[in-house]
Structure formats: structure tokens, C-alpha cells
A and B are shown apart, each in its own frame.
Chain A
Amino acid sequence: MSQLHFVIGDPEVCTGCMICVTVCSMHFYKVISPERSRTRVVRLDNGLDFPLFCRNCEDAQCIPACPNGAISRTSKGTVIVNNAKCNGTGACVEACPYFAVHIHPDTRKAIKCIQCGECVRRCPADAIWITTVDELTERDPKGKILGLHEEYSEELYGEEARR
């Protein structure tokens, strides 16, 4: 099983406060701006709030998608963007099935979650944590959390979510 780390959130616990989003944009870009955050929160009208992050996929689609070879995996397993090589083609954004890579509106570089944990340690609801596939299975043996992500994939990653 994969030991790659990624951040996951429980949509039944997340209260939708967006603190993770604001922490991220402040930590990395010194502004408050959901558009300049590496994470996002989608609130549905049925009471579910989804905090959404890079899944750090084993077969990360964003890596081969980049025409400039700007995206790679570090020795620790984190998928990162090389800013020197990135010129904002947006191919990675299109390739990511989770809409977890975005183009920063000011720098025009791709940005994504690198599991730094800044938001995790500040989540007031303890709704998000750094996990692995194994850890998540242990914590949520019935797969409810990922099941909900799957069930609402259109709302979370579909065309409307990307607009």
C-alpha cells in the first residue's frame, strides 16, 4: 500500500469556516485570498462542507501532463512545482481529477498543497489531518469519507466547481 502523505478532511465534521484556506494564502503569499490558496472549501446545501487538498496520487496525473517538466515528486514523496520551469500552461490543472492544482492569478504559476501542515494545526474543528491510504482505512474502515467525496465528485471537481 502507498505510504504517500496527503491531507484529508471529513465533510461531516468540517464546519466550513475557511480558516485552512486563509491560513494557506497568508502562509505562502502573505495575503488573505481564497483564489490564492492551495486548498479550497466547498459548501453544499445539504450540510456537508468539503475541505479539499492535493491527494498526492501514486500515479499523479499532473506530473506527466506538464509540457515543461515543472512538476516532480521529491524523495519524501511530495509532488512539487518548480517555479523556474512552470510557465502557467494550466495542463496540470486540467489533468488533476481533484481540481487540486490551480494557477496563481498574480504569478501565473501552478500552486498546490505540499502537506506542510500549517492549516492542519490550526483547524478549530479538527476536521482535517495528514494521512496515508493505510491510516485513513484504519481510521475510517467503512470508507465513508472518501465515499462522500466520490458521491459528490461532480460538485467538487466538475465543470461547475472549476468555473
Chain B
Amino acid sequence: MIKGVGGTILRIDLGKGKIEKQPIDEDLIRRYLLGAGYLSKVLFDEIAVDTDPLGPENVLGFATGLLTASMFPQASRHVIAALSPLTGIWGESHAAGFWGAELKLAGYDAIIFKGKAKGPVYLNIKDNEVDLLDASPIWGRDVFETDDYLREHHGKKCRTLAIGQAGENLVRFAAIMNDRDRASARSGLGAVMGSKNLKAICVRGTGKIEVARPKEYLKQMDEFYKRMMANPFTEGRIKYGTTSLVEMMQHIGRLPSYNMRQGVFEGYRRISGEVITDNYLVKPRSDWCCLQRCGRFTTVRKGPYAYIGGSPEFESQSSFGSRCGNDNVESVLYAHHLSNQYGMDTISLGATISWAMEAWDEGLLTAEDTGGLDLSWGNHEVIVKLVKMIAFREGFGDVLAEGSKRAAEIIGRGTDRFVMAVKGQEIAGQEPRAQKSMGLAAVTAARGADHLYAFPVLDEVGFDKEIRERFGEQYLPEIADRLNPKYKGVMVKECEDYMVVVESLGLCKYGTQIPAEFFYDDVAQALLIHNGLEFTREELQTIGERIVNINRLFNVARGITRKDDQLPDRLTKEPAPVGPSKGQVVELDQMLNEYYTERGWDLETGIPLMKTLKRLGLEKEGKGLAIESE
């Protein structure tokens, strides 16, 4: 028996209003763990290739990791997956908070939704009692109002997950929010929830998590906590969260500015971590068993942008700030707050607005298109206005709600060259000309442009010690040089394998990757004392590879090949015009060749070779998709 889990999967057919409980499949867990890995396999099997992402046939899965609700540092996370309405391929998103832990305390490891409810519903879970209830009183309400309503009706101790108006209105980058301000933002999964008429999942779990080795448990955690707190990164993380990345990224020319025309922003100081910490920070706030506490709780006390709430992250500072040429920090904070309230991905949202701003700057968009809005760089009033217009699909907001790729198709006039996206998902706040591994990671990530699937930060700020531990000497010094494309295929492959394992355990990338304090041996130790599962480092690595490969097969089945693993021309052909990385381009082809070789995928097509899949036990899944030849 696997310890430290809920033990039950909920299967819900929204069309029929049917709720089923299944025991977890232990064999599946040994092959895919839980969380992201588990959903990768279940959704690969259950979503037909011709499914409409916003149709009732799409399958929407929620899962906790094997270590979610454990006492491991930052073990607070859950994962959500479905066919993405933004990209039409694998869609996956994760968030911290307390909701995942509460779900496990109620006795459930995952919830799989199919079908579409006839009218608005929400799922209410109180331990054994699971009910679909009428959500018409909260349909049309924002995330905070929904949380208030649910906790008013079901008790203050409930933890809620919900979509805001953006998800209801099928905004293609709508987020699924939990615990008010935690976002599973990417891939537009909020729109999938909206398409199913599913407003929220309210959970109250009064159960207990029994662990495999209770006598050793606290002693082991003491060791992990000591290491986490002693890590030199922790102090800065507590003080600034991720907000001070603005200063760091400016320093290396990696701060996307003016829709990624460049990697430096002259107004960076005004949106910096220091400004936010000195003027707006109420305090750092943690999620379940989080020692790093990058979460910020902030307030703007007066003026048009007044609010109090959880925010921001570096990504929002970059997307509403530098990316839009906007140095008005209060508008950045407020735009982030509104995105939480309406439930949207701040990355795709800010990137889509910045696409429109560049098109405006180039004279390709006019007041006629925008309904009179002036989209000049840095027009913060319009940025804030657009956040609401997009969530409600009002006016020009209706076009932008489609994401930058589709918006460019609607507008035409060559505006597609300003779309900074991969496979339809907007590139996050990493100007890849200043860090080549991030460029490769953006194209290989299963959910379209993404910095987190691999999260290759080892070459960012000199983690030579960690590189040496993980790769030995053989790839140094090139692998540690962020501007050198050499060995970045090796690094991204290795990082992806580890990061999908982390996402399958419910752990955070802070602590496992930046700082890289805990590696395979540590999580293996945690799996042993928490779950009673024995894995070697090699076995976990193989599971990681298996997950990446089944994600790839999911996408290959939908036509994805090397031709789609591409960056916008700007990043591979136009040298960075200014800043510390001036003159750099992303040498993508060279890195991709190395990456496919490392992966055992066909160089020409980027499709997995059957011999690779055989090694991973994915022969059946690869049938008809994999490349059979050598």
C-alpha cells in the first residue's frame, strides 16, 4: 500500500451529473508517479485526437503530487491538465496554495472531469460527500466573490478553486485560480473549465495523511529545513520573492522589453523588486509548508490603482511593465491584481497587449481597430482598461482575448511578425537572446512556449557547483555560459526530466531547481519516508523521460514536429539591438539537433524513435506515431 496519498480518484461526468470513486492505480504510480505524470498518461489515453478543446469531449484533470501535503519544503502544489484551447496541444498548469493539500486531506489524489454540465455547477467536496451543486448564483462573479460565497456557504475552512469571468467568457488564456490569488495560469485551462460550465471546486478535508516512516519523519524534515534555510538564495527570496529578478534580468539583458524587441528597459528601476518591497509590500506569504515564501502580499493604498491582495511575481512585472514599455509600478501591481480577480494568465495577457502595442507603434493597428484606445508604449491607463475588456470580451478586448497568434490572424497586415509565441502560447519573461537555454526550453516545452517545463536556470547566475554535481566536468565551461549554445541541449533535456518529476510530486521548482538544493536523491528519500516508495535516482530519471516522451506523443498525434519547435524570427535572426547581450541571436537549430540527439528523437522531424520508446516502455503508446527506423 502506498502511504501518504488520499487513495481515491474522483471521476465526474458533468453531462450526466455522475460521480464515481476509483482506487488509485499503484502500477500506474510506479510508472508515472502522480501529479503531472499521472495526468500525462490518463489524458493521453482518454482525449481523442480530433477533440475540440472547448467541446464536451475534452478531459480536464486535476491532480496532487505524491508529496503534496507532505512536510517537504514547498510541497503545496497541484497540477491541472487538458487539451489546451490556446495551443490545441498538451495543456498543463500548476499552482501552489492550500487547495491541493486540502483535496488530499479529503481523501482524493485526482479529479477527472468529462462532459459539459447543462447549467453552471460547482463541485463541493466535504470528505466523503461529493456533490455537484448549482452555481448560478456565482456565475458571472469574480474569483474573490466566488471564494467568499463558497466559504460563506460551506464554512470558512474550505479551500476553493475557481474561474473568474475570463474563464466563463472562454478567454483563451484564462487561468484557474485557487486560494484567491494562486494561479494555474498557462494553457488557457480556465476556458476549458468555463466550457464545461464548471465554476469552482470547493474542498474541505478533515482527514489525515499517514506516512510510511512516522518515527523518522520529523528528523528528516529538520534536515531538509536546515538545508533550505541555510541556502544562500533563501534570504533574498524571502525579502524580495521573485520581484528583484527585474534588476537581475536587466543586468544580463534578459528583461523582455517593448514586446521583446530588446532585453533591457530604461525604466526598470521604477518597477523593480526594491521599489515594490519598499513601498507596497505588506509581507511575504507562504503556501503549505513553504519556507521560501516568494508569495507577496501587497497593497496600493490610494489612487486609481488601490487594492490589497496577493501579488506580484516577476512575470507580471515583466509582462505589464517592461514588455509594454510601462514604468508605472502601481498600474503593474493593479493589472496583476485584476488578472487574479478575473482569472487570467498575466504572461499571455501582458504579451498579447504588448503585441498590440508594437503593431500600433508600427502603424499597423489604428484607433479604428481599437475602438479609440491609444496603444502607445507605456500607456498604463489603457493597459489596465484592456485587462477588464479582455476578461469580458468587450470591444477590442474580444480580439485580444483570442491570444496574440489568433489576434494577428484576425488583424492581418503582417502583424504576425510581432507575435512572440511558440505553438500559439506567448513566451514568458525570458529574453532568450540573453540566455540561449531559455530559447531552446521555450520550443521543446510540451505546452508551447514555457520557461518552467525545463526551467534551465543553471547557466543563469553561475551555478557551477550544481552543474558539476549533476553533469560532472565533461560539459564545463560551455554549459555554464548562458550565451554559448553548446551543451544546452544536454542541459534542457536533463532539466526537463527532473522538472516533470518535481511536478509529479507536488513540489516547487524553488528548492529543487533554483536554488538547486534538493535533487533526485533527496526526493527519493522523501518518497521513501513519506510514501514508502523506493526509487533510485536512475529510476526517477527514467520516469521523467517517460513523462516527457508521452507529452511529446500527445503533441505528435496532433501534428507537432520539428517545424513547430521554432522561435519567432526576431529571436533567431535579428541580433539583440542593445544591452549586455547586444548582437546575440538564438542559435536554435544547433541546440535542437543536440537536444533531439540526447532525447533519442528523429533529427529531421523531432518525433521520438521507436527504440527510445521501447526503452521507456511506451511501445504501445508510440504505435503509429513514432519513427520506426534507426
Contact = CB atoms under 8 A, between A and B. Distances in A.
B209 interface: yes
A25 B98 CA distance: 17
A38 interface: no
Interface stretch (A14-22, A62-70, A86-94, A140-148): A14-22
Given A13-B283, A18-B288, A47-B282, A25 B308 contact: no
Contacts of A46: 308
B155 A163 contact: yes
A47 B283 contact: yes
28 contacts: A15-B283, A15-B286, A15-B293, A15-B295, A18-B98, A18-B286, A19-B289, A19-B291, A22-B71, A23-B71, A26-B218, A30-B214, A30-B215, A31-B208, A31-B210, A32-B69, A33-B105, A33-B209, A35-B206, A36-B208, A46-B308, A47-B285, A47-B308, A118-B218, A124-B291, A160-B156, A163-B155, A163-B157
Contacts of B70: 32
Contacts of B180: 45
Nearest to A23: B218
A7 B527 CA distance: 33
B411 interface: no
Contact of B297 (A13, A18, A47, A161): A47
A73 interface: no
Contacts of B163: none
Contacts of B291: 17, 19, 124
A25 B218 contact: no
A20 B207 CA distance: 18
A25 B283 contact: no
A122 B225 contact: yes
A26 B284 contact: no
A64 to B, nearest CB: 29
Interface in A21-76: 22-23, 25-27, 29-36, 45-47, 49
Nearest to B298: A47
4 residue pairs, one from A and one from B, having the closest CB atoms: A17-B286, A33-B208, A30-B214, A15-B286
B290 interface: yes
Nearest to B144: A45
Nearest to B288: A18
Given A17-B287, A17-B291, A31-B214, 8 more contacts: A15-B284, A17-B288, A32-B71, A47-B282, A49-B285, A105-B206, A125-B286, A163-B155
Interface of A: 12-13, 15-19, 22-23, 25-27, 29-36, 45-47, 49, 105-106, 118, 122, 124-125, 155, 160-161, 163
B117 interface: no
Nearest to B70: A32
A82 B225 CA distance: 34
Contacts of A49: 285
A45 B309 CA distance: 8
Nearest to A27: B218
Nearest to A34: B105
A17 B210 CA distance: 20
B149 interface: no
B565 to A, nearest CB: 39
B217 interface: yes
Contacts of A23: 71, 218
A12 B284 CA distance: 10
B533 interface: no
Contacts of B382: none
A16 B286 contact: yes
Contacts of B284: 15
A106 B206 CA distance: 11
A122 B210 contact: no
B222 interface: yes
A96 to B, nearest CB: 18
B410 interface: no
A102 to B, nearest CB: 11
A17 B217 contact: no
Contacts of B209: 31-33
Contact of A32 (B211, B297, B299): B211
A33 B209 CA distance: 6
Nearest to A40: B157
A79 B69 CA distance: 31
A27 to B, nearest CB: 6
A27 B222 CA distance: 12
A36 to B, nearest CB: 6
A19 B156 contact: no
B283 A22 contact: no
Contacts of B299: 47
B225 A161 contact: no
Contacts of A47: 282-283, 285, 297, 299, 308
Contacts of B98: 18
Contacts of A19: 71, 289, 291
Contacts of B308: 46-47
B229 interface: yes
Nearest to B292: A124
B141 to A, nearest CB: 16
Contacts of A124: 225, 229, 291, 293
Interface string B533-560: 0000000000000000000000000000
Given A32-B208, A47-B297, A124-B291, A26 B285 contact: no
Interface string B231-257: 000000000000000000000000000
Contacts of B288: 17-18
Contacts of A163: 155-157
A9 B291 CA distance: 17
A25 B69 CA distance: 13
Contacts of A34: 105
Contacts of A125: 286, 293
Contacts of A45: 144, 180
Interface string B70-108: 110000000000000000000000000010000001000
Nearest to A42: B156
B58 to A, nearest CB: 33
Contact of A35 (B207, B211, B285): B207
Of the candidates A17, A23, A122, A163, the one having the most CB atoms from chain B within 10 angstroms of its own CB is: A17
Contacts of B290: 15, 17
A63 to B, nearest CB: 27
B468 to A, nearest CB: 29
A107 B474 CA distance: 58
A79 to B, nearest CB: 24
A124 to B, nearest CB: 4
Interface string B190-218: 00000000000000001111110011011
Contact of A25 (B208, B286, B287, B289): B208
